[in-house]
Amino acid sequence: MAHRQPILLIDSPSLYFRAYFGIPESAAKTGDGQPVNAVRGFLDMLAQLVRTRRPDRMICALDHDWRPAWRVELLPSYKAHRVAPEGGEVVPDTLSPQVPMILEVLEALGIPAVGATGYEADDVLGTLSVTQPGPVEVVSGDRDLFQLVDDARPVRLLYVGRGVAKLDDCDDATVRTRYGVPADRYADFAALRGDPSDGLPGVAGVGEKTAARLIDRYGGLDGILAALDDPRSGFAPGLRAKLDAARDYLAVAPKVVRVATDVPLPELDPALPASPADPDRLLELAQRWNLAGSCRRLVDALAGGRS
């Protein structure tokens, strides 16, 4: 089924972490003093996205497994620095209780939220980006999702690195301009460059410019590794030695960085609700958690956001 308007695929953890750190706890609390800054900010972000992007569908992706075992098995350093002493992800104490609140409000609104055992939100977004009819707009502050950009479908990344009010609307040309590689080679580029925030060491001595130059010359990691075995391939001796030393890492890193696009997901109705699915429940939650303004703004956006 063809659509004129986009589907918004929301990287929920990316947005609610941003909301949590962007709004002081003191500015958003329930009557009994419980912080709701992440909930309020998340709902306000959705309202602004609906008003400005005018989607006709929306799905919120969830992290059911923020550090999947299959990725850790391939690369033990993956997100290792973010593991709490007692296990699980290091998450602020006052953020964790707000995530179930967000899910309750979304359910009352009628906006689907979905995750999958053994997969991150990125993987859910990747799967939805290839299975949902386009146009697709993925909303995230995660650079790894540049790899989902696909002008042919089309899939764009609305990158929120500077906030939802200053979205970077990214197509393939944007990725090429920013990093020097096409979007479908971004995962190879990220593996070469590394990413400390995810525990990806990269290749020692290979930064963004060298990574982009190698991909431009050899087409991707497979071509680079094949060229390593060819004495006529023209590598500088120092660079050849660095890449050769990183062979074991480069054999697994792309599989870790690449977003899964085959996650088993339930049937979903992504149609944007024109009115709340359960208005009485939404009103009760809004009153209980002091979210009346944010809920009203999102309900108003949903009522007027479709054409």
CA distance 78 to 254: 12
- Return the amino acid letter for 205: G
Listed in order, strand segments (DSSP E) in the chain are 7-11, 57-61, 113-114, 136-140, 155-159, 168-170
pLDDT attached to residue 88: 77
Kindly report the average pLDDT of the chain as a whole number.
93
Continuous H helices in 54-97? 69-74
All residues at 6 or more sequence positions from 254 whose CB lies less than 8 Å from its CB, including other chains = 187, 188, 191, 221
Q: Which 3 state secondary structure label does DSSP give 272?
A: coil
CA distance 237 to 247: 16
pLDDT attached to residue 202: 93
pLDDT attached to residue 1: 56
| CA 275-280-281 angle, 5° bins | 95
pLDDT attached to residue 42: 97
pLDDT attached to residue 83: 86
- Return the amino acid letter for 99: V
The pLDDT tens digits for 251-285 are 999 999 999 999 999 999 999 999 999 999 999 99
Q: Is 282 exposed, middle or buried (0-12, 13-18, 19+ CB in 10 A)?
A: buried
Q: How many residues does the chain have?
A: 307
263 close to 116: Cβ distance less than 8 angstroms = yes
pLDDT attached to residue 2: 60
- Return the amino acid letter for 60: C
The pLDDT tens digits for 83-125 are 888 777 888 899 999 999 999 999 999 999 999 999 999 999 9
Which structure tokens are listed for 31? 């009557």
